[in-house]
Amino acid sequence: MSLNPRITHWQDKRVWLIGAGHGIGAALARRLQSAGAALALSGRNPQALEAIASARCVVLPFDATDAAAWQHACDTLSTRWGNIDLIILLAGDYQALRAWELTPDVARRLTDINLMAPFYAVAACVPQLMRQKSGGIALVASVAGAGGMPNALVYGATKAAVNHLAQTLYLDLAPHGIGVWVINPGFVKTRLTAGNDFAMPALISPEQAADEIIAGFARGDFDIHFPKRFTRWIKLAALLPYRCWFYLMHKVTGL
Ligand SMILES: NC(=O)c1ccc[n+]([C@@H]2O[C@H](COP(=O)([O-])OP(=O)(O)OC[C@H]3O[C@@H](n4cnc5c(N)ncnc54)[C@H](OP(=O)(O)O)[C@@H]3O)[C@@H](O)[C@H]2O)c1
């Protein structure tokens, strides 16, 4: 039995994408739009959202690191739509960092968008989902959260925390009929990874990522991870003793 309701038909589903202006979010918005979903698109840059939005889309620009803006956006959308069927939080940021490069400012900036934003999303949106007694929330994490990795100093920690958060949300919300998903991509070719100066293993396009996400929703997975040829190995390696994991990370990254 699947852990979540299987979503196989998107026609008229009311889906709110946060982080829809670029990268995986933009590709997913295009795919869901073609499948007939009614979309609300959020991100900081209204022009990027308008460029993707069809006539029936709601464009709701806001900064996801602002808790009050989350509440305002959620209230606006629920007033307009009534119920929200699915909230997908994709907004995130990455900066390669080694231990000796960390500053409080960069730690705060990455934590605000990658971890505080999901908390603000939960605080603003879960009461609405509970009132509806339907719908669900999907948080985008990363396989970089599976274990410590060179260069993922803050990013990896925030994404590990998002996986933990999603599990706890699932335990609380699934008994109320509310879906909770965590999405763990491997490497996807977007501006987030554009600065990587190494050959990214199993790199996929944003469109392939969007297709994987849609396939994961159709299966009713809780953990939608892809591409499996990469993420399965990472998940398996994370089960090994720390000695093996540390050895593999040094060996594979050369760092
Ligand atoms: N690319 C990968 O290899 C990869 C791998 C694993 C996980 N992920 C995760 O996938 C998600 C999407 O990443 P991506 O690769 O598609 O990156 P991207 O192309 O840089 O897109 C990030 C999106 O987040 C939005 N965003 C950033 N900060 C925001 C803020 N403060 N408020 C509102 N929106 C904000 C951006 O729009 P604006 O700049 O217009 O606000 C943009 O639409 C992220 O959570 C990322 O960590 C990516």
pTM of the full predicted structure? 0.98
Tell me the average pLDDT of the chain. 98
User: What are the C-alpha distances in Å from 41 to residues 30, 51, 62, 64, 136?
Assistant: 11, 11, 10, 12, 16
Q: Is 90 in the pocket of ligand 1 (CB under 6 A)?
A: yes
**pLDDT, tens digit, 9 for 90 and up, residues 151-210:** 999 999 999 999 999 999 999 999 999 999 999 999 999 999 999 999 999 999 999 999
Q: Is 40 in the pocket of ligand 1 (CB under 6 A)?
A: no
Residue nearest to atom 20 of ligand 1 (CA): 192
What is the arithmetic mean of pLDDT over 223-228?
Answer: 98
Class of domain 14-253: alpha beta
Ligand 1 nearest-atom number relative to CA 45: 40
What three-state secondary structure class fits 34? helix
Q: How far is 101 from 229, CA to CA, in rounded Å?
A: 32
Q: What percent of the chain has pLDDT over 90?
A: 100
What is the arithmetic mean of pLDDT over 7-16?
Answer: 98
**pLDDT, tens digit, 9 for 90 and up, residues 55-114:** 999 999 999 999 999 999 999 999 999 999 999 999 999 999 999 999 999 999 999 999
Cα angle 63, 121, 227; round to 5: 95
Q: Is 170 in the pocket of ligand 1 (CB under 6 A)?
A: no
Q: Is 135 in the pocket of ligand 1 (CB under 6 A)?
A: no
